Structure 1
Amino acid sequence: MSLVSGTTVYLRHWQRDQLGMFFPMQVADHRDDGLLLWSPAGAQGWHFNMPDGRGMAQTPLTEWSAAQRVPVPHTVDHGLLSWHPHGRDYSVRWFFRPEGEFYQWYANLEAAASISGGRFVDTVDWDLDVVVQPDRTWQWKDEDEFVARLAMPDAYWVDDEHRVRKAGHEIVDLVEAGAFPFDGTWCDFHPDPAWPAIEQVEPVDSRPPVDN
Protein backbone atom coordinates (compact mmCIF):
# COMPACT_ATOMS: atom_id res chain seq x y z
CA MET A 1 0.00 0.00 0.00
CA SER A 2 1.39 3.36 -1.02
CA LEU A 3 1.02 6.19 1.51
CA VAL A 4 -0.42 9.45 0.18
CA SER A 5 1.74 12.59 0.35
CA GLY A 6 0.66 14.90 3.16
CA THR A 7 -0.74 12.05 5.27
CA THR A 8 0.32 12.00 8.91
CA VAL A 9 2.19 8.91 10.08
CA TYR A 10 3.79 8.22 13.45
CA LEU A 11 7.45 7.30 13.69
CA ARG A 12 8.02 4.95 16.63
CA HIS A 13 11.41 3.97 18.05
CA TRP A 14 11.26 0.81 20.13
CA GLN A 15 13.50 -0.39 22.94
CA ARG A 16 12.48 -4.03 23.21
CA ASP A 17 8.83 -3.94 24.32
CA GLN A 18 8.71 -0.24 25.18
CA LEU A 19 8.57 2.93 23.14
CA GLY A 20 11.58 5.23 23.28
CA MET A 21 10.18 7.87 20.93
CA PHE A 22 6.88 8.66 19.21
CA PHE A 23 6.88 11.41 16.60
CA PRO A 24 4.20 12.54 14.10
CA MET A 25 5.46 13.28 10.59
CA GLN A 26 3.99 13.81 7.13
CA VAL A 27 4.54 11.58 4.13
CA ALA A 28 6.54 13.60 1.59
CA ASP A 29 6.91 10.69 -0.86
CA HIS A 30 6.42 6.93 -0.82
CA ARG A 31 8.40 5.20 -3.53
CA ASP A 32 9.38 1.68 -4.45
CA ASP A 33 12.78 2.20 -2.82
CA GLY A 34 11.75 3.96 0.37
CA LEU A 35 9.63 6.35 2.41
CA LEU A 36 10.35 10.07 2.78
CA LEU A 37 8.90 11.85 5.81
CA TRP A 38 8.75 15.52 6.78
CA SER A 39 8.31 17.46 10.00
CA PRO A 40 8.55 21.27 10.31
CA ALA A 41 10.47 23.19 12.95
CA GLY A 42 8.38 23.48 16.08
CA ALA A 43 6.67 20.10 15.69
CA GLN A 44 5.97 18.17 18.87
CA GLY A 45 6.57 14.52 19.57
CA TRP A 46 7.31 12.50 22.69
CA HIS A 47 10.31 10.94 24.34
CA PHE A 48 9.75 8.32 27.01
CA ASN A 49 11.57 9.07 30.27
CA MET A 50 11.68 7.79 33.82
CA PRO A 51 8.68 8.70 36.00
CA ASP A 52 10.95 11.01 38.03
CA GLY A 53 11.89 12.94 34.89
CA ARG A 54 15.31 11.47 34.19
CA GLY A 55 16.22 10.76 30.59
CA MET A 56 18.28 7.89 29.27
CA ALA A 57 21.57 9.77 29.67
CA GLN A 58 20.90 10.30 33.39
CA THR A 59 19.77 6.73 34.16
CA PRO A 60 21.77 3.50 34.51
CA LEU A 61 20.84 1.21 31.62
CA THR A 62 19.70 -1.66 33.83
CA GLU A 63 17.32 0.66 35.69
CA TRP A 64 16.15 2.24 32.43
CA SER A 65 15.28 -1.07 30.80
CA ALA A 66 13.45 -2.42 33.84
CA ALA A 67 11.30 0.68 34.45
CA GLN A 68 7.91 1.52 32.97
CA ARG A 69 8.65 4.85 31.32
CA VAL A 70 6.25 7.70 30.61
CA PRO A 71 5.78 10.02 27.59
CA VAL A 72 7.24 13.52 27.86
CA PRO A 73 6.51 16.16 25.17
CA HIS A 74 9.49 17.06 23.02
CA THR A 75 9.62 19.94 20.52
CA VAL A 76 12.11 19.92 17.64
CA ASP A 77 13.60 23.30 16.75
CA HIS A 78 14.61 22.41 13.18
CA GLY A 79 12.87 21.16 10.06
CA LEU A 80 13.41 17.45 9.50
CA LEU A 81 13.27 15.42 6.30
CA SER A 82 13.78 11.70 6.96
CA TRP A 83 14.52 9.07 4.29
CA HIS A 84 13.79 5.43 5.20
CA PRO A 85 15.10 3.20 2.39
CA HIS A 86 13.35 -0.15 2.17
CA GLY A 87 15.39 -2.98 3.67
CA ARG A 88 18.30 -0.81 4.84
CA ASP A 89 19.41 -0.59 8.46
CA TYR A 90 19.40 3.19 8.71
CA SER A 91 17.47 6.35 8.01
CA VAL A 92 19.03 9.56 6.69
CA ARG A 93 17.78 12.92 7.92
CA TRP A 94 18.16 16.38 6.45
CA PHE A 95 18.14 19.15 9.07
CA PHE A 96 16.82 22.56 8.06
CA ARG A 97 16.95 25.82 9.97
CA PRO A 98 13.53 27.34 10.78
CA GLU A 99 13.86 29.68 7.78
CA GLY A 100 14.38 26.67 5.50
CA GLU A 101 18.17 26.47 5.00
CA PHE A 102 19.67 22.97 4.93
CA TYR A 103 22.60 22.63 7.37
CA GLN A 104 23.33 18.96 8.13
CA TRP A 105 22.69 15.31 7.36
CA TYR A 106 22.21 12.86 10.21
CA ALA A 107 22.39 9.13 9.51
CA ASN A 108 20.47 7.27 12.20
CA LEU A 109 21.53 3.62 12.45
CA GLU A 110 18.44 1.55 13.15
CA ALA A 111 16.60 -1.62 12.16
CA ALA A 112 15.02 -1.40 8.72
CA ALA A 113 11.70 0.38 9.17
CA SER A 114 8.36 -1.37 8.77
CA ILE A 115 4.95 0.19 8.19
CA SER A 116 2.05 -1.11 10.27
CA GLY A 117 -1.60 -0.24 10.13
CA GLY A 118 -1.00 2.35 7.42
CA ARG A 119 -0.05 4.90 10.06
CA PHE A 120 2.95 3.68 12.09
CA VAL A 121 6.58 3.57 10.96
CA ASP A 122 8.38 1.25 13.39
CA THR A 123 12.08 0.74 13.98
CA VAL A 124 14.65 0.02 16.72
CA ASP A 125 17.17 2.81 17.28
CA TRP A 126 20.72 1.46 17.62
CA ASP A 127 22.27 4.57 19.25
CA LEU A 128 25.40 4.75 17.08
CA ASP A 129 24.96 7.40 14.37
CA VAL A 130 26.90 9.29 11.70
CA VAL A 131 26.78 13.10 11.49
CA VAL A 132 27.55 14.52 8.03
CA GLN A 133 28.26 18.17 7.20
CA PRO A 134 27.27 19.84 3.89
CA ASP A 135 30.88 19.46 2.65
CA ARG A 136 30.52 15.71 3.40
CA THR A 137 32.96 15.62 6.28
CA TRP A 138 31.60 13.10 8.76
CA GLN A 139 32.02 11.74 12.28
CA TRP A 140 30.60 8.97 14.44
CA LYS A 141 28.18 10.03 17.17
CA ASP A 142 27.59 8.31 20.52
CA GLU A 143 30.16 5.55 19.92
CA ASP A 144 31.27 5.50 23.56
CA GLU A 145 27.69 5.03 24.78
CA PHE A 146 27.07 2.33 22.17
CA VAL A 147 30.14 0.32 23.22
CA ALA A 148 29.35 0.69 26.93
CA ARG A 149 25.75 -0.50 26.45
CA LEU A 150 26.83 -3.53 24.41
CA ALA A 151 28.57 -4.74 27.57
CA MET A 152 25.13 -5.02 29.25
CA PRO A 153 23.28 -7.45 26.93
CA ASP A 154 20.58 -8.28 29.48
CA ALA A 155 19.49 -4.63 29.52
CA TYR A 156 20.30 -3.49 25.97
CA TRP A 157 18.05 -3.87 22.91
CA VAL A 158 21.01 -4.14 20.50
CA ASP A 159 22.56 -7.62 20.23
CA ASP A 160 24.45 -7.55 16.92
CA GLU A 161 27.34 -5.09 16.90
CA HIS A 162 28.50 -6.28 13.48
CA ARG A 163 25.14 -5.47 11.91
CA VAL A 164 25.20 -1.95 13.35
CA ARG A 165 28.74 -1.23 12.22
CA LYS A 166 28.04 -2.68 8.78
CA ALA A 167 25.19 -0.18 8.39
CA GLY A 168 27.44 2.63 9.57
CA HIS A 169 30.17 1.77 7.08
CA GLU A 170 27.59 1.60 4.31
CA ILE A 171 26.67 5.18 5.16
CA VAL A 172 30.32 6.28 5.23
CA ASP A 173 30.90 4.72 1.81
CA LEU A 174 27.95 6.65 0.36
CA VAL A 175 29.16 9.89 1.95
CA GLU A 176 32.71 9.54 0.66
CA ALA A 177 31.44 8.69 -2.82
CA GLY A 178 29.10 11.69 -2.83
CA ALA A 179 26.32 9.26 -3.74
CA PHE A 180 22.61 9.51 -3.00
CA PRO A 181 21.38 10.51 -0.50
CA PHE A 182 24.50 12.65 0.05
CA ASP A 183 24.59 14.11 -3.46
CA GLY A 184 22.56 17.26 -2.84
CA THR A 185 19.17 15.62 -3.44
CA TRP A 186 16.39 17.27 -1.39
CA CYS A 187 18.72 19.87 0.15
CA ASP A 188 16.32 22.49 -1.26
CA PHE A 189 13.21 20.65 -0.08
CA HIS A 190 10.06 22.60 0.78
CA PRO A 191 6.81 20.95 1.90
CA ASP A 192 3.72 21.33 -0.25
CA PRO A 193 1.71 24.25 1.21
CA ALA A 194 -1.47 22.38 0.29
CA TRP A 195 -0.76 19.60 2.77
CA PRO A 196 -3.05 19.54 5.81
CA ALA A 197 -1.68 20.14 9.29
CA ILE A 198 0.03 17.26 11.03
CA GLU A 199 -2.47 15.29 13.11
CA GLN A 200 -1.46 15.15 16.76
CA VAL A 201 -2.47 12.11 18.80
CA GLU A 202 -1.37 10.71 22.14
CA PRO A 203 1.44 8.15 21.88
CA VAL A 204 0.15 4.77 20.73
CA ASP A 205 1.95 1.52 21.58
CA SER A 206 -0.73 -1.04 20.75
CA ARG A 207 1.27 -2.87 18.09
CA PRO A 208 4.36 -5.03 18.63
CA PRO A 209 7.77 -3.60 17.78
CA VAL A 210 9.79 -4.69 14.78
CA ASP A 211 12.44 -7.33 15.34
CA ASN A 212 15.78 -6.03 16.58
Structure 2
Amino acid sequence: MPFQPGQVVTRRYLRGPWVTWVQPMRVISDDEHGLLLWHSVGSDIARLVDADGNTPHDVAVDRLRDPKLTLQSWTDYDILVLMRPDAAHAVWWCFRQGAFAAWYVNLESPYVRRPDGVDTTDHVLDIVVTPDRQWEWKDADEFDEHIGNPLYFDGATARTIRAEGHRLIKLIEGGEFPFVGTHTGFRPGPDWPTLRLTGTPGFPATRPA
Protein backbone atom coordinates (compact mmCIF):
# COMPACT_ATOMS: atom_id res chain seq x y z
CA MET A 1 0.00 0.00 0.00
CA PRO A 2 1.32 3.48 -0.80
CA PHE A 3 1.96 5.95 1.97
CA GLN A 4 -0.49 8.84 2.21
CA PRO A 5 0.44 12.51 1.65
CA GLY A 6 1.08 14.13 5.01
CA GLN A 7 1.93 10.82 6.70
CA VAL A 8 5.14 10.81 8.73
CA VAL A 9 7.37 7.81 8.03
CA THR A 10 10.92 6.93 9.04
CA ARG A 11 13.77 6.59 6.57
CA ARG A 12 16.44 4.27 7.98
CA TYR A 13 19.95 3.22 6.97
CA LEU A 14 21.02 -0.33 7.84
CA ARG A 15 24.52 -1.79 8.03
CA GLY A 16 24.92 -5.40 9.10
CA PRO A 17 23.18 -5.78 12.48
CA TRP A 18 23.02 -2.01 13.06
CA VAL A 19 20.52 0.70 12.29
CA THR A 20 22.90 3.58 11.63
CA TRP A 21 20.46 6.40 10.83
CA VAL A 22 16.78 7.19 11.41
CA GLN A 23 15.03 10.24 9.99
CA PRO A 24 11.33 11.15 10.22
CA MET A 25 10.02 12.32 6.84
CA ARG A 26 6.74 13.85 5.72
CA VAL A 27 5.27 12.10 2.68
CA ILE A 28 4.60 14.49 -0.21
CA SER A 29 3.62 11.82 -2.72
CA ASP A 30 4.00 8.10 -3.28
CA ASP A 31 3.21 6.93 -6.79
CA GLU A 32 4.73 5.48 -9.96
CA HIS A 33 7.18 8.42 -10.07
CA GLY A 34 8.65 7.50 -6.70
CA LEU A 35 8.41 8.26 -3.01
CA LEU A 36 8.84 12.00 -2.37
CA LEU A 37 9.67 12.99 1.21
CA TRP A 38 10.30 16.23 3.14
CA HIS A 39 12.51 16.96 6.16
CA SER A 40 13.11 20.42 7.58
CA VAL A 41 15.90 22.06 9.56
CA GLY A 42 15.31 21.62 13.27
CA SER A 43 13.66 18.22 12.88
CA ASP A 44 14.98 15.18 14.71
CA ILE A 45 17.43 12.67 13.36
CA ALA A 46 19.03 9.71 15.13
CA ARG A 47 22.50 8.56 14.17
CA LEU A 48 24.77 5.84 15.46
CA VAL A 49 27.39 7.32 17.80
CA ASP A 50 29.88 5.37 19.87
CA ALA A 51 31.36 5.90 23.33
CA ASP A 52 34.21 7.96 21.82
CA GLY A 53 31.90 10.23 19.83
CA ASN A 54 32.63 8.53 16.50
CA THR A 55 30.01 7.93 13.83
CA PRO A 56 30.13 5.59 10.81
CA HIS A 57 31.56 8.54 8.85
CA ASP A 58 34.59 8.51 11.14
CA VAL A 59 35.35 4.78 11.32
CA ALA A 60 33.88 1.58 9.89
CA VAL A 61 30.74 0.60 11.74
CA ASP A 62 32.28 -2.64 13.05
CA ARG A 63 35.02 -0.59 14.78
CA LEU A 64 32.63 1.63 16.74
CA ARG A 65 32.90 1.11 20.51
CA ASP A 66 29.52 0.52 22.19
CA PRO A 67 27.53 2.45 19.54
CA LYS A 68 24.02 3.72 20.26
CA LEU A 69 21.42 5.61 18.25
CA THR A 70 21.60 9.19 19.49
CA LEU A 71 18.98 11.87 18.96
CA GLN A 72 20.27 15.01 17.23
CA SER A 73 18.84 17.95 15.30
CA TRP A 74 19.04 18.30 11.51
CA THR A 75 20.88 21.45 10.42
CA ASP A 76 21.86 23.52 7.36
CA TYR A 77 19.29 22.55 4.71
CA ASP A 78 15.64 21.63 4.38
CA ILE A 79 15.53 18.65 2.04
CA LEU A 80 13.12 17.10 -0.42
CA VAL A 81 14.10 13.49 -1.13
CA LEU A 82 13.03 11.42 -4.13
CA MET A 83 13.41 7.65 -3.83
CA ARG A 84 12.42 5.90 -7.03
CA PRO A 85 11.45 2.20 -7.07
CA ASP A 86 14.43 -0.09 -7.67
CA ALA A 87 16.84 2.87 -7.99
CA ALA A 88 20.29 2.52 -6.38
CA HIS A 89 20.27 6.18 -5.32
CA ALA A 90 18.13 8.93 -3.86
CA VAL A 91 18.13 12.53 -5.10
CA TRP A 92 17.80 15.35 -2.59
CA TRP A 93 16.77 18.93 -3.32
CA CYS A 94 18.43 21.13 -0.69
CA PHE A 95 16.85 24.45 0.33
CA ARG A 96 18.28 27.21 2.48
CA GLN A 97 15.81 29.76 3.85
CA GLY A 98 13.32 28.73 1.19
CA ALA A 99 15.67 29.03 -1.80
CA PHE A 100 16.92 26.06 -3.79
CA ALA A 101 20.64 25.63 -3.06
CA ALA A 102 21.82 22.28 -4.45
CA TRP A 103 21.06 18.73 -5.44
CA TYR A 104 22.62 15.90 -3.49
CA VAL A 105 22.84 12.40 -4.94
CA ASN A 106 22.99 9.78 -2.21
CA LEU A 107 24.12 6.46 -3.67
CA GLU A 108 22.32 3.71 -1.76
CA SER A 109 20.61 0.36 -2.21
CA PRO A 110 17.05 0.27 -3.60
CA TYR A 111 14.72 0.89 -0.70
CA VAL A 112 12.63 -1.73 1.06
CA ARG A 113 9.26 -0.75 2.49
CA ARG A 114 8.13 -1.27 6.06
CA PRO A 115 4.60 -0.51 7.29
CA ASP A 116 5.95 2.70 8.86
CA GLY A 117 8.76 3.69 6.51
CA VAL A 118 11.59 2.54 4.29
CA ASP A 119 15.00 0.95 4.78
CA THR A 120 18.09 1.27 2.62
CA THR A 121 21.86 0.83 2.91
CA ASP A 122 24.06 3.84 2.28
CA HIS A 123 26.77 3.27 -0.34
CA VAL A 124 28.97 5.99 1.21
CA LEU A 125 29.86 7.67 -2.11
CA ASP A 126 27.77 10.75 -3.00
CA ILE A 127 27.61 13.56 -5.55
CA VAL A 128 27.00 17.25 -4.77
CA VAL A 129 25.49 19.32 -7.59
CA THR A 130 25.18 23.13 -7.76
CA PRO A 131 22.09 24.80 -9.25
CA ASP A 132 24.04 25.35 -12.50
CA ARG A 133 24.84 21.60 -12.54
CA GLN A 134 28.50 21.72 -11.56
CA TRP A 135 29.19 18.51 -9.69
CA GLU A 136 31.78 16.89 -7.46
CA TRP A 137 32.17 13.57 -5.70
CA LYS A 138 31.73 13.50 -1.92
CA ASP A 139 33.26 11.00 0.53
CA ALA A 140 35.34 9.29 -2.19
CA ASP A 141 38.22 8.59 0.21
CA GLU A 142 35.86 7.10 2.79
CA PHE A 143 34.31 4.94 0.06
CA ASP A 144 37.71 3.60 -1.02
CA GLU A 145 38.67 2.79 2.58
CA HIS A 146 35.66 0.47 2.95
CA ILE A 147 36.28 -1.63 -0.17
CA GLY A 148 36.89 -5.20 0.94
CA ASN A 149 35.11 -4.88 4.27
CA PRO A 150 32.36 -7.55 4.15
CA LEU A 151 29.93 -5.17 5.90
CA TYR A 152 30.34 -2.74 3.01
CA PHE A 153 31.31 -3.87 -0.50
CA ASP A 154 33.84 -5.91 -2.42
CA GLY A 155 35.69 -4.58 -5.46
CA ALA A 156 33.03 -5.68 -7.96
CA THR A 157 30.21 -4.07 -5.98
CA ALA A 158 32.27 -0.90 -5.58
CA ARG A 159 32.64 -0.71 -9.36
CA THR A 160 28.88 -1.11 -9.74
CA ILE A 161 28.28 1.71 -7.26
CA ARG A 162 30.70 4.00 -9.11
CA ALA A 163 29.04 3.10 -12.42
CA GLU A 164 25.70 4.22 -10.99
CA GLY A 165 27.32 7.50 -10.01
CA HIS A 166 28.74 7.98 -13.51
CA ARG A 167 25.32 7.24 -15.01
CA LEU A 168 23.82 10.00 -12.90
CA ILE A 169 26.66 12.37 -13.79
CA LYS A 170 25.63 12.00 -17.45
CA LEU A 171 22.11 13.07 -16.47
CA ILE A 172 23.52 16.01 -14.53
CA GLU A 173 25.70 17.19 -17.41
CA GLY A 174 22.86 16.70 -19.89
CA GLY A 175 20.36 18.63 -17.77
CA GLU A 176 18.02 15.65 -17.69
CA PHE A 177 15.46 14.76 -15.02
CA PRO A 178 15.72 15.05 -12.11
CA PHE A 179 18.40 17.72 -12.61
CA VAL A 180 16.03 20.25 -14.13
CA GLY A 181 13.58 22.78 -12.70
CA THR A 182 11.30 20.10 -11.26
CA HIS A 183 10.76 20.66 -7.50
CA THR A 184 13.28 23.53 -7.28
CA GLY A 185 10.39 25.87 -6.40
CA PHE A 186 8.94 23.54 -3.78
CA ARG A 187 7.55 25.20 -0.68
CA PRO A 188 6.37 23.41 2.48
CA GLY A 189 2.98 24.11 3.97
CA PRO A 190 3.05 27.14 6.29
CA ASP A 191 1.75 25.08 9.20
CA TRP A 192 4.04 22.06 8.84
CA PRO A 193 5.77 21.41 12.16
CA THR A 194 9.31 20.18 12.58
CA LEU A 195 9.35 16.41 12.81
CA ARG A 196 10.05 14.49 16.01
CA LEU A 197 11.18 10.90 16.44
CA THR A 198 9.82 10.41 19.94
CA GLY A 199 6.57 8.53 19.55
CA THR A 200 7.09 8.06 15.81
CA PRO A 201 6.42 4.52 14.49
CA GLY A 202 9.74 2.85 13.70
CA PHE A 203 11.62 4.53 16.56
CA PRO A 204 13.33 3.39 18.74
CA ALA A 205 14.71 1.40 15.86
CA THR A 206 15.78 -2.21 15.89
CA ARG A 207 17.54 -4.11 13.14
CA PRO A 208 15.37 -6.79 11.52
CA ALA A 209 16.48 -10.33 12.28
TM-superposed CA distance for 1:60, in Å, is 5.6
Query: For the structure 1 residues 42 and 194, does the alpha-carbon distance in structure 2 shift closer, same or farther, using more than 3 Å as the test?
Result: closer
Task: Flag structure 1 segments of 5+ consecutive residues without an equivalent.
Answer: none
Other-structure match for 1:184 = 181
Relative to the length of structure 1, the TM-score reads: 0.87
**Distance in 1 between residues matched to 2:190 and 2:61, nearest whole Å:** 43
Task: Flag structure 2 segments of 5+ consecutive residues without an equivalent.
Answer: none
1:158 aligns with 2:153: yes
**Distance in 2 between residues matched to 1:181 and 1:21, nearest whole Å:** 25
Contact 1:12/1:123 (CA < 8 Å) preserved in 2? yes
SS in 1 for 2:52: coil
Query: For the structure 1 residues 89 and 58, does the alpha-carbon distance in structure 2 shift closer, same or farther, using more than 3 Å as the test?
Result: closer
**Distance in 1 between residues matched to 2:61 and 2:197, nearest whole Å:** 30
Cα displacement string for residues 22-48 of structure 1 (whole angstroms, at most 9, x for unaligned residues)? 010100111113100001121111111
TM-superposed CA distance for 1:207, in Å, is 5.3
Contact 2:3/2:27 (CA < 8 Å) preserved in 1? yes
Contact 1:6/1:196 (CA < 8 Å) preserved in 2? no
1:113 aligns with 2:111: yes
Contact 2:17/2:207 (CA < 8 Å) preserved in 1? no
TM-superposed CA distance for 1:19, in Å, is 0.9
Equivalences for 1:22-61 in 2 at 5 Å?
Answer: 22-59=22-59
Contact 1:28/1:36 (CA < 8 Å) preserved in 2? yes
User: Given residue 90 of structure 1, which amino acid in structure 2 is its aligned partner?
Assistant: H
Equivalences for 1:95-174 in 2 at 5 Å?
Answer: 95-97=94-96, 99-117=97-115, 119-151=116-148, 153-154=149-150, 156-159=151-154, 160-174=157-171
Query: For the structure 1 residues 60 and 173, does the alpha-carbon distance in structure 2 shift closer, same or farther, using more than 3 Å as the test?
Result: closer
Relative to the length of structure 2, the TM-score reads: 0.88
- Total equivalences in the alignment: 203
TM-superposed CA distance for 1:16, in Å, is 1.4
| Percent identity between the two aligned chains | 32
**Distance in 2 between residues matched to 1:68 and 1:76, nearest whole Å:** 23
User: Given residue 174 of structure 2, which amino acid in structure 1 is its aligned partner?
Assistant: A
Cα displacement string for residues 94-152 of structure 1 (whole angstroms, at most 9, x for unaligned residues)? 1111x2111010000000112111x121000010001100000101111111111104x
Other-structure match for 2:82 = 83
Other-structure match for 1:198 = 195
1:10 aligns with 2:10: yes
**Distance in 2 between residues matched to 1:33 and 1:114, nearest whole Å:** 16
